[in-house]
């Protein structure tokens, strides 16, 4: 496929000192504009940048359109109570290169909180939204153990395992990062509002979800953002641990991403013992680690 | 990987209370204020830069020199050769005046470490020491700085055609605003840019709103 040509010299050197200076606001608006185009997906957007690796969103969007979108995003976020947030954009400082390990890398992320937490050793703990009581207890023990070993516990702020992982890490005075499947200022599930705000204020909340596209489309389409954020969560962390997940769980998206990206994938032993599941053995055959006791985790993480 | 400058724009200006919409400021990195993020790469770069001059000759001081060189190289990659050939790099004066045992010329050294830097000039000097802003509860204001800033007329010719005021950290923007004020008075019409290694941001949305 021939990559779409750059249409705009959105970042001229001008008379100033900077080589192609980046306006985060302009990039944010341009990225949102790309997402508003017909048929835009994570893949189509990533393909565009794969074809032109030094391009930035503003190279493909008319400046006035980018700025109009940026203003709308600021208004929408402000109305949602998001008064301060940041972005990370490819080619600017502080953008984590490890995001490029994803099959379709994300060019721009929104965040609230302290970005520095991404520089700590991060392990994702994920699993089903409908866990058994035992899985909740396992999650809590696991999160506490990770905190004790100074790891940051990363999860997706969903009901069930995710919520248990974040909450246990915070209660153990540890650090946590939430990678959410909604835009900043949108709470899903609604009962996690307080937890999301706590993480945004005291830790780190990350969203790759475009604010305007999300607002313009219906719930079924927006559901697709949830598994996509799992791929980013894997890219941001050094390992993913799965506590409990069914045969068709979205958690398995993260498992596949972890292996593809060269991240460690750890699966609790109890899942191997369930006769209704075939995926644990499949992933083990492809390199996942079966966790029979905590030492297996520390050995795998090194 | 080469990092490009980001601009201060309408989205991020709120972290720097003295900057106005017509201030053209550029930065390479961000770091979060308020908690101990000493593990972060930017945090340790800045803390190495700020190692006290009294440590000169100790093993620790080596980290300062390495940080200065790294900053010079990073700035050099982000500044256009065309601008470097004609523009003036102007370090923000140290808080401790020359002759003070804690006089720290790290910003001047960063400017000189920029490959291809032609015109590095200490065009603004400070007549007496002030408490270092990052160590003091009573940070000097713009007026305090203007009281002690002077143009060094011995370095004023030839008049600069474009000025980049270099500093390590952008906080409220006090030093940049004071520098811009005194430079605009002396060289009216000459474009003045602020160029920073890092800017500080706040994690908590309610911290300074």
pLDDT of B76 above 90: yes
| A-B contacts at Cβ under 8 angstroms | 118
pLDDT in tens, A205-215: 999 999 999 99
Q: Compute the Cα dihedral for A47, A212, A81, A157 and give only its sign.
A: negative
| Average of per-residue pLDDT across A128-133 | 96
Q: How many other β-carbons are positioned within 10 Å of the β-carbon of residue B206?
A: 9
Crossing angle (nearest 10°) for helices A133-148 and A161-171: 40
Task: Give contacts of B 26-65 with A, CB under 8 A.
Answer: 26-32, 35, 37, 39-43
Interface touch B31/A20, C-beta < 8 Å? no
Q: Which residue carries 């009573």 as its tokens?
A: B138
Q: What local confidence, expressed as pLDDT, does residue A7 receive?
A: 65
* Å between B16 CA and nearest CA of chain A: 13
Distance between CA atoms of residues B58 and A30, nearest Å: 49
Question: Least CA distance to A203: which residue of chain B?
Answer: B203
Distance between CA atoms of residues A34 and A45, nearest Å: 7
Q: What local confidence, expressed as pLDDT, does residue B39 receive?
A: 86
Interface touch A17/B43, C-beta < 8 Å? no
Question: Least CA distance to B84: which residue of chain A?
Answer: A17
* Å between A201 CA and nearest CA of chain B: 5
Interface touch A21/B41, C-beta < 8 Å? no
B113-143 residues labelled b (16+ CB within 10 A) or e (exposed): bbeebebbbbbbbbeebbebbeeeeebbebe
Q: What local confidence, expressed as pLDDT, does residue B64 receive?
A: 95
Interface touch A25/B9, C-beta < 8 Å? yes
Task: Give contacts of B 76-115 with A, CB under 8 A.
Answer: 77-80, 82-84, 87
Question: Least CA distance to A20: which residue of chain B?
Answer: B4
| Average of per-residue pLDDT across B127-132 | 86
pLDDT of A35 above 60: yes
Lowest mean pLDDT among A19-23, B121-125, B146-150: A19-23
- A interface test, pick of B2, B7, B164 with most A CB neighbours within 10 Å: B7
Task: Quickly state the pLDDT bin for A284 (edges 50, 70, 90).
Answer: very high
Residues 6+ positions from A230 with CB-CB distance below 8 Å: A126, A156, A179, A250, A251, A253, A254, A257
Among candidates B4, B10, B79 on the partner chain, residue whose Cβ is nearest the Cβ of A92: B4
Residues of chain A with C-beta less than 8 angstroms from the C-beta of B12: 24-25, 86
Task: Quickly state the pLDDT bin for B209 (edges 50, 70, 90).
Answer: very low
Question: Least CA distance to A81: which residue of chain B?
Answer: B205
Interface touch A28/B11, C-beta < 8 Å? yes
Mean pLDDT for chain A?
94
pLDDT of B181 above 90: yes
Distance between CA atoms of residues A22 and B4, nearest Å: 7
**pTM score:** 0.94
Q: What local confidence, expressed as pLDDT, does residue A190 receive?
A: 96
Q: What local confidence, expressed as pLDDT, does residue A15 receive?
A: 78
| Average of per-residue pLDDT across A82-109 | 96
- Quickly list DSSP for A57-90: GGGSS-HHHHHHHHHHHHHHHHHTT----EEEET
pLDDT of A14 above 90: no
Mean pLDDT for chain B?
92
Task: Give contacts of B 134-173 with A, CB under 8 A.
Answer: 162, 164
Residues of chain B with C-beta less than 8 angstroms from the C-beta of A91: 3-4
| Average of per-residue pLDDT across A96-117 | 97
Distance between CA atoms of residues B136 and B61, nearest Å: 22
Q: What local confidence, expressed as pLDDT, does residue B1 receive?
A: 58
CB B97 within 8 A of CB B130: no
pLDDT of A186 above 80: yes
Interface touch A17/B29, C-beta < 8 Å? no
pLDDT of A2 above 60: no
Asked whether the bond before A157 is cis by omega within 30 degrees of 0, the reply is no
Residues 6+ positions from B119 with CB-CB distance below 8 Å: B87, B88, B89, B160
Distance between CA atoms of residues A105 and B14, nearest Å: 30
Q: How many other β-carbons are positioned within 10 Å of the β-carbon of residue B44?
A: 15
Task: Quickly state the pLDDT bin for A4 (edges 50, 70, 90).
Answer: low
Q: What local confidence, expressed as pLDDT, does residue B208 receive?
A: 41
Please work out, in degrees rounded to the nearest 5, the angle formed at the alpha carbon of residue A177 by the alpha carbons of A174 and A182: 150
pLDDT of A1 above 50: no
Say if strands B192-201 and B24-32 run parallel, antiparallel, or are unpaired: parallel
Say if strands A122-126 and A152-155 run parallel, antiparallel, or are unpaired: parallel
Interface touch B14/A93, C-beta < 8 Å? no
What is the helix (H) or strand (E) element at residue A241, kind and residue range? Answer: strand A239-242
pLDDT of A38 above 80: yes
Q: How many other β-carbons are positioned within 10 Å of the β-carbon of residue A283?
A: 22
Please work out, in degrees rounded to the nearest 5, the angle formed at the alpha carbon of residue A22 by the alpha carbons of A21 and A23: 125
Task: Quickly state the pLDDT bin for A247 (edges 50, 70, 90).
Answer: confident
Determine what percent of chain A is predicted with pLDDT higher than 90: 92
Q: What local confidence, expressed as pLDDT, does residue A222 receive?
A: 95
Task: Quickly state the pLDDT bin for A51 (edges 50, 70, 90).
Answer: very high
Please work out, in degrees rounded to the nearest 5, the angle formed at the alpha carbon of residue A94 by the alpha carbons of B165 and A15: 35
Distance between CA atoms of residues A91 and A96, nearest Å: 10
Among candidates A19, A70, A84 on the partner chain, residue whose Cβ is nearest the Cβ of B78: A19
Task: Quickly state the pLDDT bin for B207 (edges 50, 70, 90).
Answer: very low
Residues of chain B with C-beta less than 8 angstroms from the C-beta of A28: 11
Q: What local confidence, expressed as pLDDT, does residue B130 receive?
A: 87
| Average of per-residue pLDDT across A170-180 | 98
CB A176 within 8 A of CB A199: yes
Strand-pairing partners, residue A204, are A113, A177
Lowest mean pLDDT among A142-156, A236-250, B144-158, B159-173: A236-250
Question: Least CA distance to B5: which residue of chain A?
Answer: A21
Closest CA to B31 of B39, B23, B40, B20: B40
Q: Compute the Cα dihedral for A138, A143, A149, A155 and give only its sign.
A: positive
pLDDT in tens, B89-123: 999 999 998 889 899 999 999 999 999 999 999 99
Q: What is the ipTM of this complex?
A: 0.89
Task: Quickly state the pLDDT bin for B53 (edges 50, 70, 90).
Answer: confident
């Amino acid at each position: 496929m021939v990559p779409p040509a750059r249409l705009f010299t959105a970042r001229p050197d001008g008379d100033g000192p900077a080589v192609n200076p980046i306006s985060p606001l302009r990039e944010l608006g341009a990225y949102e504009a790309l997402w508003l185009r017909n048929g835009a997906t994570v893949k189509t957007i990533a393909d565009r940048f794969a074809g032109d690796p030094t391009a930035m969103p503003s190279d493909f969007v008319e400046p006035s359109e980018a700025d109009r979108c940026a203003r709308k995003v600021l208004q929408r976020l402000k109305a949602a109570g998001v008064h301060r947030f940041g972005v990370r954009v490819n080619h600017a400082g502080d953008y984590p290169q490890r995001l490029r390990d994803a099959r379709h890398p994300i060019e721009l992320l929104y965040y609230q909180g302290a970005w520095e937490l991404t520089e700590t050793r991060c392990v994702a703990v994920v699993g089903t939204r409908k866990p058994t009581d035992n899985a909740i207890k396992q999650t809590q023990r696991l999160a506490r153990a990770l905190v004790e070993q100074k790891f940051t516990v990363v999860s997706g702020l969903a009901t069930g395992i995710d919520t248990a992982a974040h909450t246990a890490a915070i209660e153990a005075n540890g650090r946590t990062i939430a990678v959410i499947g909604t835009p900043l200022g949108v709470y899903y599930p609604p009962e996690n509002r307080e937890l999301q705000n706590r993480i945004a204020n005291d830790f780190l909340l990350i969203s790759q979800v475009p604010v305007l596209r999300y607002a313009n489309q219906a719930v079924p389409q927006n559901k697709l953002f949830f598994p996509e954020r799992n791929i980013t969560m894997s890219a941001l962390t050094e390992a993913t641990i799965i506590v409990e997940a069914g045969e068709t769980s979205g958690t398995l998206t993260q498992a596949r991403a972890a292996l593809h990206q060269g991240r460690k994938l750890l699966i609790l032993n109890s899942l191997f013992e369930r006769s209704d599941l075939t995926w644990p053995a499949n992933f083990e055959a492809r390199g996942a680690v079966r966790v029979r006791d905590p030492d297996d985790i520390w050995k795998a993480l090194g | 990987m080469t990092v490009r400058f980001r601009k201060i724009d309408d989205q991020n200006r709120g972290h720097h209370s003295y900057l106005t919409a017509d201030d053209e400021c550029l930065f390479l990195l961000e770091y979060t204020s308020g908690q101990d993020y000493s593990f972060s790469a930017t945090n340790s770069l800045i803390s190495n830069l700020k190692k006290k001059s009294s440590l000169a000759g100790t093993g620790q001081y080596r980290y300062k020199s390495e940080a200065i060189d790294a900053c010079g190289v990073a700035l050099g990659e982000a500044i256009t050769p065309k601008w470097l050939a004609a523009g003036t790099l102007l370090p923000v004066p140290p808080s401790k005046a020359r002759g003070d045992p804690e006089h720290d010329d790290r910003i001047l050294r960063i400017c000189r470490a920029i490959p291809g830097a032609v015109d590095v000039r200490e065009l603004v000097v400070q007549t007496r020491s002030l408490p270092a802003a990052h160590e003091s509860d009573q940070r000097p204001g713009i007026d305090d700085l203007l009281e002690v800033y002077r143009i060094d007329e011995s370095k004023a010719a030839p008049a600069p055609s474009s000025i980049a005021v270099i500093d390590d950290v952008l906080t409220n923007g006090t030093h940049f605003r004071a520098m811009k004020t005194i430079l605009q008075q002396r060289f009216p019409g000459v474009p003045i840019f602020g160029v920073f290694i890092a800017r500080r941001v706040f994690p908590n949305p309610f911290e300074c709103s």
